[in-house]
Amino acid sequence: MTGNPFALWVYLSQTPLLWLTVTLLVYAAADAVSLATHRNPLANPVLHSVWVIGAILLLTGTPYPKYFDGAQFVHFLLGPATVALAVPLYENRKTVLSAVVPMLVALVAGSITAIVSIVLLAEAVGLPRGVVLSLAPKSVTAGVAMGVSESMGANPSITAIAVVLTGIMGAIIVTPLMNRMHITDFRARGFAVGLTSHGIGTARAFQVDTVAGVFAGVAMSLNALLTSLVVPVLVTLLVR
Amino acid sequence: MIASLGLILLCQLIGEIAVREFGLPIPGPVIGLVLLFVLLLGRDRIALLRQGPLQAGGVEQASEGMLAHLSLLFVPAGVGVVQQLDLVAEHGVAIFLILILSAGVTLLVTTVTFLATSRLLARKRSAG
C-alpha cells in the first residue's frame, strides 16, 4: 500500500484496465438481474449498464474519452460481430430461403419506414439539421450506423446513442406489442425486431424463441446492407 | 479459435480495404459478412477451402461465442450519452418520444408486410 488512496486512483484512472473491468462487471451484473427476472423486457441489460456506468463516470468526474480508452476493446468487437452474422445466416439458409420473398418485401418496407418516420418526426418537432441526419440510420447496428453518419457529415456519437436507445426500446416494446396484436408467427416477430432494433433486438429475440432469433439476425444483417445504401438517398430527398 | 478469429478479422479487413479503395457506400463489416457467407457456401462445394477455421465448426464456434454477448458490445457506445448531456437537456424528451414512436411504427409495418406477403403467396400457391 502506498498509504495514499489518491495515488492509487491516479494510477488506475490512467490505465485502460479499470474501465474495461467496470464495463464487463456492470454488464455481467445487469445480465444476472435480467436472468433473475426471467428476462423481463424492462430489465434490459444494456439499458441498466449504460445508466450505471454513466453515473459512475459523472460521480468520479471521468471524461468519456478516458472511459473509452478502456471500453474501446469491447466497442471494437462490433465490427467482427457484424461479420460473424454470416454464420447464423449460413446455418439457417434453408429456413431463410423458404421465406425469402416475405422477408425481402418486409425488409424494404421496414427499412424505409424506419428512416422516413424518424426523419419526418424529427423535422416535425423542429430538431436541428445535424441531429436529424444523425438520427436517420438509428435502426442498424452501431458500427454500421456510425459509419453511415460519418459519411454524411453528421455526428456519429449522437447516432450511437440513438442506435442504442432504439435497440433498447424496440426490445422492450416488441413482446407486449406483438402479444396485444395477437401475432404468433415468430418468423415475423423476430424479423421485425431485428430490423428495428439490430443487435439488441436480436439478443432479445433469442431470449424469447430460437426461430425468432434467427430471423432477427437475418433482418439485422440485411438491414445493415440496405440502410447503408438507402439512408444517403432518402436523406437528400427528405432533409432540406 | 485463434485462426477462426483471424479469419473473421481478415474478412472485415478486406471489407474495409475494399470500401476505401473503391469508395463504396457500404460499411466494411457488411462486406466482410458477405465475404464470410460466400466462403462458408464455397467450402461445401470446393474441397480446397475445407481447412483451418473453415472445417470442424471452427469459425462457427467463434462467431456464436461473439454473438452470444452481442448486447454487451453496445454498452460503450451507449455510455457516450454522458458526452451529450446538453443535447439531452435541450431535446432529450423529444428525441426519446420520436425514437419510441418510430420503433413502434417500424415494428408494425415490418410485421404486417411480412405476414401479408406470406399469406398472399400461400393463397397463390394453393390456388395455382
Distance, in Å, from the CA atom of A228 to the CA atom of A79, rounded to the nearest integer, reads 15
Domain closes at, from B27, B48, B68: B68
- Res. A189 pLDDT band, cuts 50 70 90: very high
Q: Answer yes or no: do B48 and B95 share one domain.
A: no
How many H-runs (helices) and E-runs (strands) does chain A carry? 13, 0
What does the alpha-carbon distance between residue A182 and residue A141 come to, in Å, rounded to a whole number?
A: 28
Residues B15 and B63 reside in one and the same domain: yes
Cα gap B93→B76, rounded to integer Å: 22
Q: Give Rg (Cα) of chain A.
A: 19
Query: Which residue in B80, B87, B110 is closest to A160 by CB distance?
Result: B80
Q: Report residue A192 as a C-alpha cell.
A: 421485425
CA–CA gap between residue A34 and residue A48 (Å, rounded): 10
DSSP state of B101: H
Provide the CA B82 distance to its chain's centre, in angstroms.
Answer: 26
Same domain, B63 and B97: no
Return mean pLDDT, chain B. Answer: 86
Read off the pLDDT of each residue in B40-52 and give the average, rounded to a whole number: 76
Listed by start position, the domains of chain A span 1-76, 85-240
Confidence at B54, pLDDT banded by 50, 70, 90: low
- Give CA–CA dist B101/A236, Å, rounded: 23
Instruction: Say what the pLDDT of residue A159 is.
Output: 92
CA distance A223 to A202: 12
Which three cell numbers mark A65?
474519452
Same domain, B63 and B21: yes
User: Does the pLDDT at position A162 exceed 90?
Assistant: yes
Instruction: List, as own/partner pairs, every contact residues B8-11 make where C-beta atoms lie below 8 angstroms and the sequence separation is at least 24, other chains included.
Output: B8/A80, B8/A83, B8/A84, B8/B32, B8/B36, B8/B59, B8/B62, B8/B63, B8/B66, B9/A80, B11/A83, B11/A86, B11/B35, B11/B36, B11/B39
Say if residue B43 is in the same domain as residue B94. no
pLDDT digits (tens, 9 = 90+) for B6-26: 999 999 999 999 988 887 777
Please give the pLDDT value at position A87: 86
ipTM field: 0.86
Same domain? For B90 and B64 the reply is: no
Contact A110 B113 (CB under 8 A): yes
Per-residue pLDDT at A3: 64
List the single range of A40-44, A216-220, A236-240 with lowest mean pLDDT.
A236-240
pLDDT at A9: 76
Q: What are A19-43's pLDDT values in tens digits?
A: 999 999 999 999 999 989 988 888 8
This prediction's pTM: 0.85
Q: Which helix or strand (DSSP H or E) is residue B37 part of?
A: helix B28-45
Domain hosting B12: range is 1-68
Q: Structurally, how many domains does chain B consist of?
A: 2
As a whole number, mean pLDDT of residues B61-78 equals 87
pLDDT at A96: 81
Q: How many CA atoms lie within 13 A of B70 on its CB side?
A: 33
Both B59 and B86 in one domain: the answer is no
B47, HSE (Cβ side, Cα atoms, 13 Å)? 0
One domain, residues B29 and B53: yes
Minimal C-alpha gap between B105 and chain A (Å): 8
Average pLDDT value for residue range B83-94 = 86
441489460: which residue's cell? A45
DSSP-assigned letters across all residues of B7-27:
HHHHHHHHHHHHHHHHT-SS-
CA angle A168, A142, A97 (to 5 degrees): 85
What is the least distance, in Å, from the CA of B39 to any CA of chain A?
10
What secondary structure does DSSP assign to A88-136, as a single string? HHHHTHHHHHHTHHHHHHHHHHHHHHHHHHHHHHHHHTT--HHHHHHHT
Please give the Cα distance from B61 to B41 (Å, whole number): 17
**A177 to chain B, closest Cα gap in Å:** 8
Cell output for A50:
449504460
* Four-residue CA torsion sign, B35, A210, A229, A161: negative
pLDDT score of A2 more than 60: no
Out of B84, B107, B117, closest to residue A192 by CB: B107
What whole-number distance in Å separates Cα of residue A181 and Cα of residue B91? 31
Residues of B in contact with A164 (CB under 8 A): 74, 77-78, 81
Q: Are residues B46 and B105 in the same domain?
A: no
Residues of B (96-115) whose Cβ lies below 8 Å from A: 96, 98-111, 113-115
Residue that terminates a domain, selected from B49, B68, B87:
B68
